[in-house]
Amino acid sequence: MDESTDLIKDAFDTKTWNEIHTTDSWRVFKIISELVEGYEKLSRIGPSVAIFGSARTHFNSKYYKLAEEIAFDLVQKGYGVITGGGPGIMEAANKGAKRGNGKSIGINIDLPFEQKPNQFIDRDKLITFDHFFVRKVMFMKYAQGFIVLPGGFGTFDELFEAITLIQTKKIGRFPIVLVGEEYWSGLLDWIQEVMLNEEHNIRSEDLHLFRLVDTAEEAVAYIDQFYSRYLLSPNF
């Protein structure tokens, strides 16, 4: 019997009120402790941009090199770089920030596979969480922009949560940049043709909540241009 089957069976096992109460109570305390640790550490990092993408991207990939270049350029502009702390695109971004002598922050998640902290995170700027949603709270609260390279379900989760929160005005707008026209154009075509034009599930102005680019220069320039409209710079 595999682990996923065990998890399903465990979810349906009858538990006593005491077991439920005790487990849930301690889980709440764990969540609170993660939030407090995150707030205390990340409140001191200063203006930073989060870079997202696949943990499975090989170091020879063009997207790995692109993520490293973007991070390097960002720290030259005065921004810190926040990633999910793992391998692949995250490693590349932390590597670029480190090479540029900028702040290299890792918000890691404890997983049974593929997610160990990469070596390019500043030692005092690594946090590891057990809960995905707490981790996402930290990204939303402490990143002044999202730059999203090709990734899987986790990357899409982070991207669409940010778009949804901005669309519903639960948070203030910040720049969201998708990097890689070859990777993203099919999805964006579907969003426009099906989600907008056929089903009318979004408004046309929602398509302006993000920007698609193809180069590091375009990605960093969009972040800078967004904040220059408000006369803000990375020391805000």
- Distance separating alpha carbons of residues 141 and 42, to the nearest angstrom: 9
From the list 158, 167, 102, 132, the residue with the least C-alpha distance to 34 is 132
Confidence class of residue 111 from pLDDT cuts 50, 70 and 90?
confident
pLDDT tens per residue, range 112-159:
765 689 999 999 999 999 999 999 999 999 999 999 999 999 999 999
Assess if residue 234 is contained within a domain: no
Answer yes or no: is pLDDT of 21 > 70. no
The model's pTM is 0.89
> Looking at the domain assignment, is residue 235 inside a domain?
no
Which strands form 80-83's sheet, in the order they lie side by side?
126-129, 104-109, 80-83, 48-52, 146-148, 176-179, 211-213
Residue 236 included in any domain: no
Let me know if residue 187 belongs to a domain.
yes
What end-to-end distance do the CA atoms of the chain give, in Å?
54
Provide the CB-side half-sphere exposure for 221 (13 A, CA).
7
Structural domain that includes position 11: 3-228
**Alpha-carbon 64 to chain mean position:** 16
Instruction: Answer yes or no: is 233 within a domain.
Output: no
* H/E run at residue 11: helix 3-12
**In the structure, what pLDDT confidence band is assigned to residue 26 with cuts at 50, 70 and 90?**
confident
Per-residue pLDDT tens digits for 84-109: 999 999 999 999 999 999 999 999 99
d(C-alpha 24, C-alpha 19), whole Å: 8
**How far apart are alpha carbons 33 and 53 in whole angstroms?**
27
Measured over all CA atoms, what is the biggest interatomic distance in the chain, rounded to whole angstroms?
A: 59
The encoded tokens of residue 25 equal: 């109570």
How high is the pLDDT of residue 73?
A: 98
**CATH value at residue 73:** 3.40.50.450
Residue among 151, 168, 85, 68 at smallest CA distance from 122: 85
Number of domains in the chain: 1
Kindly write down the DSSP assignment for every residue of 124-170, as one continuous string: GGEEEES-HHHHHHHHHHH-S-EEE-S--HHHHHHHHHHHHHHHTTS
DSSP-assigned beta bridge partners for residue 52: 148
